[in-house]
Homo-oligomer: A and B are copies of this chain.
Amino acid sequence: MAHITVSVEYAIHGLLWLVGSNAKALSSREIAELQGISPSFVAKIFPKLEKAGIVRAQEGVRGGYQLARPAGKISFLDIVDAIEGNKPLFDCQEIRGRCAVFGDDVPAWATAGTCAVHAVMLQAEKAMRQSLSEQTLGAIAERFGRTAPREFHADVQSWIDERMSERTVRSGKPSSTSPP
């Protein structure tokens, strides 16, 4: 399994549908169907994003997930950390203290401070995290937006509008009297 898992990929692609000032709140099922991914997978991922303060969930007929802050303020690192938790790139086993000449009496100098090998790995991890922190959901949404033709955006809007109508039909309330 790759260090940054498919859950992060699903989270980012799911979140991209929530970007934009006119973006409707979408349920995890709607996000999954729009993106063509497993609804049960999305249902596990989005509560983690909510817990991390990346999305907020609203109840009601017009409810669903919305970004909790502007997409330009949500970095890829925020999303990776929300999904993966504190997962180190390298899990130091501190084998520097296991040298045969020490026997059972490991001298203090041998295990003082951070192991030099571990320090190199921590630096590489820091470089990776720095790179992820410099990219935002907003910037990537813009890049996707530029690639897609105008009709695509209209098609997506129709798909979402249709789902919104189905919600109000199911709830038995006409759209105009639904809570905002």
Which A residues contact B (CB, under 8 angstroms)? 1-4, 6, 8-10, 12-13, 33-37, 76, 87-93, 95-96, 98-101, 107, 109-110, 112, 116-117, 120-121, 123-132, 135, 140, 143-144, 147-149, 152, 155-156, 159
Q: Which residues does chain B contribute within 8 Å of A155, judged by CB atoms? A: 101
| Alpha-carbon separation in the docked complex, A15 to B74 (Å) | 42
Q: Distance (Å) between the CB of A147 and the closest chain B CB?
A: 6
Q: For A92, list chain B residues within 8 Å (CB).
A: 9
Main SS at interface, chain A: helix
Residues B3 and A3 in contact, CB atoms below 8 Å apart: yes
Given contacts A3-B89, A120-B135, contact A99 B34 (CB under 8 A): yes
Whose C-beta in chain B lies nearest to the C-beta of A11?
B117
Contact A116 B100 (CB under 8 A): no
Contact across chains for B109 and A2 when beta carbons are under 8 A apart: no
B residues within 8 A CB of A33? Answer: 100
A36 touching B100, Cβ below 8 Å:
yes
Instruction: Check A95–B127 contact: CB distance below 8 A.
Output: no
Q: Are A98 and B2 in contact (CB under 8 A)?
A: no
